[in-house]
Amino acid sequence: MWADGAALERAARILRDGGIVAFPTETVYGLGADAENDAAVRRVFEIKGRPLGHPVIVHLAAAAQVPNWALMPPEGLLLAKRFWPGPLTLVLPRTSRASDLVTGGQDTVAVRVPSHPLAHDILERAGIGVIAPSANRFGRPSATRARHVLADLGDAVDLVIDGGATTVGLESTIVDLAHGEPAILRPGAVTREHLEAALGARLRERGATEVRVSGSLPSHYAPAARVELFEDGAAARARLAALEARGTRTMLLDAASGSEGPARELYDKLRAADQAGVEVIVAILPPEEGLGAALRDRLQRAAAPRRHEGRNSRVE
Ligand code: TXA
Ligand code: MG
């Protein structure tokens, strides 16, 4: 439904009562439930088809609520001050309020204060911590429009709040502050450059080995089409022409600029490709800097062979 004040109040009430609400954040749509209601959290995993044991992010209306859930180190305060509300998630040592279901049984919890006005309004009205994994079926591209949520999850959700297309389009940056030097576990719109400038320090390379990040499964975002990756635009266009000459249904995904447009459109395009029966997506990668790092990461996941399927993808 379109979001007026009454709809937002209803969303908050459903969440407090243990229901499931899909709502937009500035990154992607989230599938929300009361973080302290184990039955509601379980239902979110079921609806998504996500295996238990994958930790989820607790969304809060304000950084002031973090101490209920986690221990905030000095770097966390710094990053929160600089980037919240916004597309940044912090992994922190947890308090006992964060259940094993939320943390995947780990001693850390992921927290985020989103900036989307509808998300913020719902969180503030609800007054609780809300877990919200991306509102897609497990293994599908994340949902960046309400219709993506409806296509994937339809009637299983108690309410879908429609806020139009999300502005960032890629999931939040995840920074681990719980295992020594800060590290990026998932690149996003808050870039390495932004983080290093704020912290005044170089960041450790991603160390996702000791923590479970479902986004770090190679095939996590894979569409049905095969995705071929190119560093070079001319080579990509030549490949596209060759495929088309052969009658292959293709799609060009030009992310070379590494800018906000391609990021915002990425998941909609992957979904559109599936719907149109595209067989091969030819993608041009941006340089590994700024937002380009996040785009490369998601495109590389989209191109990764799926287990049990043996698809081949390539970088040229
Ligand atoms: O932009 C986003 O972050 C969206 C919006 C809805 O907020 N949410 C999202 O949630 O992408 P999800 O569940 O699809 O991805 C959350 C990622 C997962 O890869 C999960 O493994 C990781 O965060 N994560 C959650 N808690 C963690 C923890 N304690 N330690 C390490 N990784 C964690
Ligand atoms: Mg997800």
Q: What is the pLDDT of residues 16-48, one digit of tens each?
A: 999 999 999 999 999 999 999 999 999 999 999
Taking the centre of ligand 2 as the mean of its atom positions, its distance from the CA of residue 203, in whole angstroms, is 24
211 vs 206, higher pLDDT? 206
Q: What is the pLDDT of residues 56-69, one digit of tens each?
A: 999 999 999 999 99
Is 88's C-beta closer than 6 angstroms to any atom of ligand 1?
no
Percent of the chain residues topping a pLDDT of 70: 91
Residues 116, 163: contact at Cβ < 8 Å?
A: yes
Residue ranges of alpha helices (H) inside 32-182 are: 38-48, 66-69, 74-83, 100-103, 117-126, 146-153
Helix (H) or strand (E) holding 7: helix 5-16
pTM here is: 0.94
Is 27's C-beta closer than 6 angstroms to any atom of ligand 1?
yes
DSSP string, 234-265: HHHHHHHHHHHHTT--EEEEE-TT-SHHHHHH
Enumerate the β-bridge partners of residue 227: 281
Is 179's C-beta closer than 6 angstroms to any atom of ligand 1?
no
Nearest-CA residue for atom 12 of ligand 1: 133
CA–CA distance, 141 with 186 (Å, rounded to integer) = 15
CA–CA distance, 254 with 236 (Å, rounded to integer) = 9
Q: Which residue has the tokens 């919200």?
A: 132
Taking the centre of ligand 1 as the mean of its atom positions, its distance from the CA of residue 67, in whole angstroms, is 19
Question: Do β-strands 280-284 and 173-176 pair in parallel, antiparallel, or remain unpaired?
Answer: unpaired
Query: What value does the mean pLDDT of the chain take?
Result: 92
Is 55's C-beta closer than 6 angstroms to any atom of ligand 1?
yes
- Nearest ligand 1 atom to alpha carbon 102: 26
